[in-house]
Structures are given as C-alpha cells and as structure tokens.
C-alpha cells in the first residue's frame, strides 16, 4: 500500500523548496503525494493544491517547505494540522524555514532540528526550548526530520526514500534527477575553505569504494594520494566535511544495506564484503548507524 505524503502549501511557500519535495517524492512509485493548503504563487510559479489543509490528516508523512517571513507563524488551521500529525505519529519534515512552522506548532521543544544557516540563530531566538543544530545538512530526531534549504532538501528527500524503500530505490530516484546518493545528515551545509585545485582525492575515494572489503587505513589512503598524513586528513575534511574514517564507515554501511536488501548472504559474509570484520562487529556498527539490527533491516527492506 502506498504511503501518503502531504506537502503543505504554507502561505508564502518558497517555490524551490516546494518543487524539490513535489518532484522527488512525487516520482517515487511507493508514494501517493497530495498538496494541501491554499493556492498561491511564488517566484512566478503557481501552486494549486489538490486538497484543503484538512487533507494533511490522512498523511503518513507531512512535508513543510520553506516559506517567507518565518518570524510570522502560519495561520492557526495550519498549526493545528501540523500538531495533530505529530501527535498521531506521522513523519514530520521541515525544509529550510519550514522548520519554523514545526516550531510554531509546538512540536520541537526539547528536540533537535536544523534550518538554513541564515536562519538558525533566528530560529533559536524565537524558540529557545528547541535544540537548533547549526551547519548540518539535515537532522533526524525520531519522527521529526529537518533540513537546510536547496540541495539539503534533495538529500533529505532521498533519505526518506531510502528509509522507506531501501538503497536501490534511493539510487534509482537519485539517478532520475542526476543527483548523487543522499549525503549524510551531519555533513556541513558549507565549508569555509574551497576544495584545493588539482586535488586527486576524488580518485582516492573512488578506489576506496571499490575496495571496501580490504583493510584501509588513513595512512594507506594518504600514501595513495601522495600526501603526508596530516595534509591528507585536512584536505579530505575540506572536500567531504568529515574525517576519512567516518566517511569510510558510512560507505561500508551503505554497501551493507544494499547487500541486505538484494541478497540472501549471511551476516558474516556481508561483514567481510563490506570490510567490517566479524559478524559481531558488523552487528554493533550497523545498529549504531541505522538504529536497526541487520536482521530487522533485511525484514523491512528485502526486495
């Protein structure tokens, strides 16, 4: 049965954030997407809802795109359906300033959220009980997911598809929009240092992804890049926003997820193929990164 996604056309909705959610999630076969709210125009784009705001009450996932003037809360009828959705356990998603609507509905107190870096300080000032995380692509706190605007909205939509339907579905969706697989949420929205010209670290990362079953260390990656260890670590962080071994762990988890979805391999074989050692070590790492045991993940996502 298809999951119902309600994209809320808030007053002053930002066309870019709306279109990202509508196009990526609307193109996923496992979703039924409705647009709830009132007709509006933004950036020369006219948005015509399919349902009035009460349509949100039937949604499994509620998406709040960014909207203008986030310091002014949306009308009460919008805040009421947002609060009801959260109370019944729907997945609540805020993109860019859409997080302000979630906060105005009273559902972010004590929870971790993020928004576009230009608005995080304002969000924290307006809603001091909310834990605003700065300079990350997106944050997942239970059934509450929030993202910075633009490209981070793409990452979050692909993350939703991966969570609901698995890695292959995410890769297919990303390919349709010529988008890379979803970047990890903790990755920075921006880095202060531009990628150095002439860097060959892309080739090093590609080699690592092709050899995940091998023993790979920071030293071996640095040698392959013809750099001193400290220089390599600094340059790798500038290009990816994370340390080398953290990046490597995320690649191994991604491979393991795909193998759990598409094969009947044992946990020990998947652990070896993805470079995570023994089955016991793999189980610990996999649960830490995904919140599920490998057997639970396979049951939910096996094709």
pLDDT tens profile 67-95:
999 999 999 999 999 999 999 999 999 99
Q: What is the spatial distance between Cα 16 and Cα 66, in angstroms, rounded to a whole number?
A: 9
Q: What angle separates helix 201-210 from helix 244-262, to the nearest 10 degrees?
A: 40
The DSSP code for 13 is B
Q: Is 146 helix (H, G, I), strand (E, B) or coil?
A: strand
Q: What pLDDT is stored for residue 289 in this prediction?
A: 84
Average pLDDT of the chain to the nearest whole number: 87
pLDDT of residue 186: 53
Least confident of 184-193, 235-244, 278-287: 184-193
Q: Which residues contact 242 (CB under 8 A, 6 or more apart)?
A: 184, 186, 187, 250
CA dihedral sign of residues 46, 47, 49, 55: negative
- Which pLDDT band, with edges at 50, 70 and 90, does 183 fall under? low
- The per-residue pLDDT for range 156-171, each reduced to its tens digit, is 999 899 888 887 888 8
H/E run at residue 132: strand 131-132
pLDDT at 77: 95
Q: pLDDT at position 195, please?
A: 43
Residues with Cβ within 8 Å of 55's Cβ and at least 6 positions away in sequence, in order, are 6, 34, 36, 49
Average pLDDT for 293-303: 81
Residue 301 or 257, more confident? 257
Contact (CB, 8 A) for 206 and 216:
no
User: Model confidence over 209-222: pLDDT tens digits?
Assistant: 899 999 999 999 99
Residues 6+ apart with CB under 8 A from 87: none
CA 199 to chain centre: 27
| pLDDT of the residue at 191 | 40
Burial grade of 251 (CB within 10 A; 0-12, 13-18, 19 or more) = middle
* pLDDT given for residue 272 in this prediction: 94
pLDDT confidence of 199, banded at 50, 70, 90? low
DSSP label at 71? T
The pLDDT value recorded for residue 163 is 87
Residue 181 pLDDT exceeds 70: no
Q: All domains of the chain, ordered by start, with CATH?
A: 3-176 (3.40.50.880), 193-303 (1.10.10.60)
Q: Which of 147, 131, 139 is nearest to 97 (CA)?
A: 147
Q: Do the beta carbons of residue 101 and residue 73 sit within 8 Å?
A: yes
Q: Is pLDDT of 61 > 90? A: yes
Helix (H, G, I), strand (E, B) or coil at 26: helix
- Residue 272 makes CB contacts below 8 A (sequence gap 6+) with 213
Digit-coded pLDDT (tens) for 29-54: 999 999 999 887 776 778 889 999 99
Please provide the DSSP assignment of 34-70 as one string: EEEE--EEETTEEE--SB-GGGGGG-SEEEE--BS-T
């Amino acid at each position: 049965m298809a999951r119902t996604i309600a994209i809320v056309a808030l007053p002053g909705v930002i066309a870019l954030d709306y279109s990202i959610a509508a196009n990526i999630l609307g193109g996923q076969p496992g979703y039924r997407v409705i647009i709830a709210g009132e007709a509006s125009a933004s950036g020369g784009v006219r948005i015509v809802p399919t349902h009035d705001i009460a349509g949100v009450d039937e949604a499994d996932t509620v998406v709040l795109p960014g909207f203008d003037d986030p310091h002014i809360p949306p009308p009460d009828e919008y805040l009421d359906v947002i609060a009801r959705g959260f109370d019944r356990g729907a997945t609540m998603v805020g993109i860019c300033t859409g997080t302000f609507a979630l906060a105005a509905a009273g559902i972010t107190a004590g929870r971790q959220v993020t928004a576009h870096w230009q608005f995080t300080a304002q969000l924290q000032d307006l809603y001091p009980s909310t834990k605003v995380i700065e300079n990350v692509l997106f944050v997942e706190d239970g059934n509450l997911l929030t993202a910075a605007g633009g490209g981070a909205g793409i990452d979050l939509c692909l993350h939703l598809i991966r969570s609901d339907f698995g890695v292959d579905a995410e890769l297919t969706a990303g390919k349709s929009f010529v988008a890379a697989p979803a970047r990890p949420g903790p990755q920075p929205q921006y880095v202060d240092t531009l990628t150095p010209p002439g860097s060959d670290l892309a080739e090093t990362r590609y080699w690592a992804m092709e050899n995940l079953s091998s023993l790979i260390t920071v030293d071996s990656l640095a040698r392959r890049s013809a750099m001193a260890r400290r220089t390599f670590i600094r340059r790798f962080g500038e290009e990816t926003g994370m340390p080398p071994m953290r990046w490597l762990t995320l690649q191994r988890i991604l491979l393991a997820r795909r193998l759990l979805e598409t094969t009947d391999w044992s946990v020990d074989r998947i652990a070896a193929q993805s470079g995570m050692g023994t089955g016991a070590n793999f189980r610990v790492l996999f649960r830490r990164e995904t919140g599920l045991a490998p057997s639970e993940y396979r049951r939910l996502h096996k094709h």
